[in-house]
Amino acid sequence: MCFSLNRAIATTTRFAARLLHLPFTHPLPAPGSADANAAEDALRRYQEQLLSEAVVAGLVQALDGLEGDDLVAPAGLLSQLVLRSSSYARQFLEAGGLDEPLVRRLLRPGNPPSVLVDALLAVSQVSFFNFRLGNVTDAVFCFAAREAEPASLPRHCPRRRVRLHHALTLPRGPGRSGAVV
């Protein structure tokens, strides 16, 4: 029963993310035409509606029970929205988009490459919009390297020691509580 419920939730989340992403996938009409202006206005209103309904926060929460291929559509929509606006980036941050369990789930080496890329894009954009995060992007990249190749480098390798040291000793303080490492 629990497995089938989890499967149903994953399927629903995947399809909902695909539906929400559809307006971004259609090309706009040629610039300057009446159709182009109407399409741009409709897309702008759609984005405002997604923002007011806190879709990013809902997607971050929905990622909690997803694995592997089920992460592709929600992670893709998240990165698309976060890349579009600092308001979406703020929602991502406030919803826990940089919390360690979520970052671990998204950067798991067995995930599809598109999930890894989308996760890194979203985290990079959030750190770009929010200077108080300091070296969060560096921490995430080091975290990803540590997760992806824990045994591939010998323990005595300077490159491995530097990466691990950097990832484990990043300064923390006000505004740096994302705790990616």
Whether 150 is covered by a domain: the verdict is no
The confidence band for 164, taking pLDDT boundaries of 50, 70 and 90, is very low
User: Alpha-carbon distance 80 to 74, whole Å?
Assistant: 10
> Tell me, what DSSP letter sits at residue 69?
G
Task: Flag whether 11 is in a domain.
Answer: yes
In three-state secondary structure terms, 29 is coil
Contact assessment for residue 15 and residue 9, using Cβ atoms and an 8 Å cutoff: no
Question: What single letter denotes the amino acid at residue 95?
Answer: A
pLDDT of residue 128 exceeding 50: yes
Which residues are CB-neighbours of 119 under 8 A, at least 6 positions away? Answer: 75, 79, 103, 106, 107
- The pLDDT of 95-105, averaged and rounded, is 87
Q: Indicate whether 45 belongs to any domain.
A: yes
Find tokens 């390297």 and name the residue. Answer: 145
Q: What is the pLDDT of residues 2-36, one digit of tens each?
A: 667 788 888 999 999 999 999 988 888 888 888 88
In a domain, 71, yes or no: yes
- 59-73 tens-digit pLDDT: 999 988 898 999 999
175 is a domain residue: no
- Across all residues in the chain, what is the average pLDDT? 77
Size of the chain in residues: 181
Q: How far apart are the C-alpha atoms of 126 and 18, rounded to whole Å?
A: 23
Sorting pLDDT into bands at 50, 70 and 90, what band is 132?
A: low
Let me know if residue 70 belongs to a domain: yes
In this structure, what are the phi and psi dihedrals at residue 5, rounded to the nearest 5 degrees?
-65, -45
Model-level pTM? Answer: 0.71
Q: Do the domain assignments include residue 94?
A: yes
How many Cβ atoms are within 10 Å of 101's Cβ, its own excluded?
A: 11
Structural domain including 60 reads 2-24+33-134
CA dihedral 55, 57, 59, 64 (to 10 degrees): -160
Residue 106 included in any domain = yes
How many structural domains is the chain composed of? 1
**By the 8 A CB rule, do 28 and 40 touch?**
yes
